[in-house]
Amino acid sequence: MRGRSLTLSRVKLELARRSMSATSVPSMADFLTKKPYSPPSWASHLRPLPSHTFSLAHRDDFTGMELSGNKVRKLEFLMAEAVDQHADTVITIGGIQSNHCRATATASNYLNLNSHLILRTSKLLADEDPGLVGNLLVERLVGANVHLISKEEYSSIGSEALTNALKEKLEKEGKKPYVIPVGGSNSLGTWGYIEAAREIEEQLNSRPDDLKFDDIVVACGSGGTIAGISLGSWLGALKAKVHAFSVCDDPDYFYDFVQGLLDGLHAGVNSRDIVNIHNAKGKGYAMNTSEELEFVKKVASSTGVILDPVYSGKAAYGLINEITKDPKRWEGRKILFIHTGGLLGLYDKVDQMASLMGNWSRMDVSESVPRKDGVGKMLGTITINKWCVHTLFVCYRFSSSVQHCQLKSSNTASLPKQQNSDEQLICFQICLCCVNQTQDAIQVCAQIRCLLSQHSFPDLTN
């Protein structure tokens, strides 16, 4: 890592998280607004031109956890077409931790469309509940219909045939489905990053220092992002060399796939002339070496920039390796690295990264530090502490009113000793929630006392 850091210091590396100027970003007042689309002048010859776009507020500090990343740019065009076609359902497909599927499910929910996600997983897990880790939690929270398929079936049948089969099934049920391919990567979705190239131009033009980039670096997982940014850079004023780091298939596959997207836009350009694709898949898609995960950890701890392990993490790791192997080639060049989001994928790597997280310890408080009962953030004041103890006992005795809670706590020492430990755990967690704000605690506890005033219970306030 020391060698990589020294090499990096000789290169001007611009990490862009796609923060945009106020003039080039749709405001929150435009969120979910359908608008006619006007392409950049240098892309007006491409065909077919999109007629409309839906503003999904793809600025990183607007989109939040559920609708973030490069997929949102593609969805602005794809969801507009779905609505134009009067679809009531959206179908898409991807890996079990697909960022695209999560963003599609959320966007569909915003637009009152049902979503069906075909998610690829291992053969052993295809018949089990997929759980609630990472992107799956958001997808299932927003009500997406999840269909699991084994990797073997996915490989032998293909993504297009799988989505078409589900489309036919839903049509027989009276639905009007709209199919979005893997990663939203078709010719229409490509416009998302053609538009991104225009935004980068606008940002650079607004700067007083005449900054220009020599290279643009981005991860490549399905091909639409690199097709759009490469074509936009080629046709527009950027003229930066685009380097794509493939995280799944080999470079030759993506050269051919991107060529198909370009031909679908009648761009009249060869993919190999506008993008340089590097192999960064390592052990395979969504699989990481310990070195890659250690790199993600060190970047986060030293810069505050959090890379996802599936896309941007592998791309940045690949870039630093390239710089280390051939520093002369990169020396002095200004590099724009596009962070494409996908941070929820980190939650799927918890077990693998646990050994890297050693910076914790039990706080050692000297006996000389004064103690006083009932003081501290969790208890607020002695008064609130009494209320909470009282509330604990009430909730415990009349647990039927909270029987649907599934909350747990590791500290139950102050609870009455009874046989039903689940009731004790539930009540203690409720008290912790109550004391976050003093006024809320008083109000909640008073409500419980009122509701249960007809019952008799010990007075614990003294």
Q: Which residues are catalytic?
A: 98
Q: Is 146 exposed, middle or buried (0-12, 13-18, 19+ CB in 10 A)?
A: middle
Q: Is 245 exposed, middle or buried (0-12, 13-18, 19+ CB in 10 A)?
A: buried
312-325 helix and 2-9 helix, angle to the nearest 10 degrees? 80
Phi/psi at 298 (5° precision): -70, -35
Q: Which of 335, 118, 347, 155 is nearest to 245 (CA)?
A: 335
How long is the chain? Answer: 462
Q: How far apart are CA 399 and CA 66, in angstroms?
A: 34
Q: Which of 294, 348, 286 is nearest to 317 (CA)?
A: 294
The encoded tokens of residue 224 equal: 């639409």
Q: How far apart are CA 185 and CA 225, in angstroms?
A: 8
Within 13 Å, how many C-alpha atoms sit on residue 83's CB side?
21
